[in-house]
Amino acid sequence: MSRTTRTPGKERTPLKDRVPGGTDGRRMLLIGFIDKCGTGLWSTAMALYFTYVAGLGLGQVGLLIGMSGAAGIAGAPLGGRLADRFPLVRVIVGAQLLRAAALLALLTTDHYLLLILFSAAGALPDRAANVLTKLYAARVAGPDRVRYQAVNRTASNLGWTLGGLGAAAALAVGSTTAFQLLLVGDALSCLVMAALTLRCAEPPSPTVSRIAASSACTAPTPAAKPSNPWRDRGFLSFTAGEAVFFLHDSILQVALPLWIVHATDAPVGLAPLLLVVNSALVVLFQVPLSRFGATTDAARRLLLPLAGLFVVGTLAVGVSALGGRTLATGALITAAVVLTFAEMIHTIASWEISVALAPDDAQGAYLGVHGLAQATQRFAGPLLMTGLVSAGPLAWPVLGAALVATAAAQNRLVRRRLPEPSLSVAKVTVSEH
């Protein structure tokens, strides 16, 4: 019997080798997946828990969520600062344990002020976790960090979808016990993540690596004062622009559902389907698209198509209000698809550029400040989208123009900060096999 031979160079890369970062990188992806499973369980039912279990009124629920969101804004820079001063793995574990404790504390009371306090205490490490995991990925994945982030987003969306399905099943029961189990499930996911994170090795710090590389050929020099992102006007301007770009989250999650109900003839049931489309597209295309942002220059060039996608997406939302069920449905599906691709393109560009602009001696602090963009958007974005929906169809082209102007400003700023053909990492080819 003859034995089939493989042509050299044609073997498929094992799945485990397609994920950058080695064993710790894969373990952190699993942690991110578990994180989103738990978050999908709780965040979907949070407002209903406070309404039906804690007995709060609509205004009280809105104020509680808003205040906890405002407190969470401080989580990103605080987490980044701690990561520059302490071992990153320990900081991540601490954030996960604090999240679990804050969630479980909600079960112990229905006192309004305590609910606000516990929610705010949970929002701080929750927002910090985004920056800390991003920082870990940047250190452990090295030159493949863009692809790593793409795989991470894919895993996160799968986790979020599974968590949302679990929440839907519990909400169908609608009992107090069902709501409480969702909260406990999120808390348990944090404890599982902490246990898994303890098994991860501490990634090398950029500063330590740089000092080790130069110590053999240079004499020791006095340590310079670390860079301060709060005094870096260019980076602060970049972060402000990022907050504008992150509005795609609020457009998809807040504006479109409200717009469907108040301004179009589209069926109300279209709203959750658009979110399903969003998650499915991210799972399918985030990793393949990552190769277009494998270097800093390539990531900067993505700002041009990003501007075009924002224009098409916002105009499609405005067109959906012109009348007719068919037109509205088609325009809204188009908007959701286009804005999802804008979300993916922005994620790629934002990830690479933010890491490239952060100095080695203060990478955590810089990425923490950059995390303010998304945290601020989560707080202010829904308010802005509510006003935009009230303003009517003409507000959408105005928003599109603002996003285009922001893209042009970001492009100039990044090109000025990185004047040479700058690669934050060595140029790599991202394989899709």
Tell which residue, 140, 115, 172, 124, has the closest CA to residue 31. Answer: 140
> What is the pLDDT confidence band of residue 75, given thresholds at 50, 70 and 90?
confident
pLDDT digits (tens, 9 = 90+) for 286-335: 888 888 887 888 999 999 999 999 999 999 999 999 988 999 999 999 99
pLDDT of residue 426: 40
What is the Rg, in whole angstroms, of the alpha carbon atoms belonging to the chain?
22
Q: Are 366 and 235 in contact (CB under 8 A)?
A: yes
Tens digit of each residue's pLDDT (9 = 90 or more) over 121-158? 998 998 888 788 878 877 887 777 777 877 887 888 88
Contacts of 331 (CB under 8 A, 6+ apart): 316, 317, 319, 320
What was the pLDDT predicted at 211?
40
What lies within 8 Å, CB to CB, of 166 at 6+ separation is 37, 40, 41, 182, 185
Write b or e for each residue in 213-225: b if 16 or more Cβ atoms lie within 10 A of its Cβ, otherwise e. eeeeeeeeeeeee
**Cα 194-67-106 angle, rounded to 5 deg:** 50
CA angle 295, 296, 298 (to 5 degrees): 65
pLDDT tens for 157-191 read 888 888 878 887 877 787 889 889 999 999 999 99
Q: What are phi and psi of 55, to 5 degrees?
A: 75, 30
Q: What's the rounded Cα separation, in Å, for the pair 331 and 317?
A: 6
Mean pLDDT of 101-109: 95
Residue with tokens 């479980």: 104
Cα–Cα distance measured from residue 151 to residue 428, given in angstroms and rounded to the nearest whole number? 17
Burial (CB count within 10 angstroms: exposed 0-12, middle 13-18, buried 19+), residue 113 = exposed
Q: What are phi and psi of 421, to 5 degrees?
A: -60, 90
Per-residue model confidence (pLDDT) at position 308? 96
Share the mean pLDDT of the chain: 83
Per-residue pLDDT at 378: 79
The more confident residue out of 420 and 348 is 348
How many residues make up the chain in this entry?
A: 433
Q: How far is CA 332 from the centre of its chain?
A: 23
Give me the helix-helix angle, 112-141 and 363-391, nearest 10°.
120
Residues 146, 288 contacting (CB under 8 angstroms): no
What is the separation of C-alpha 149 from the centre of its chain, rounded to a whole number of angstroms?
10
Residues 348 and 289: beta-carbon distance below 8 Å? yes
- The residues near 153 (Cβ < 8 Å, ≥ 6 apart) are 282, 286, 344, 347
Q: Could you report the per-residue pLDDT of 208-252, keeping only the tens digit for each?
A: 444 433 344 444 444 456 688 888 999 999 999 999 999 998 898
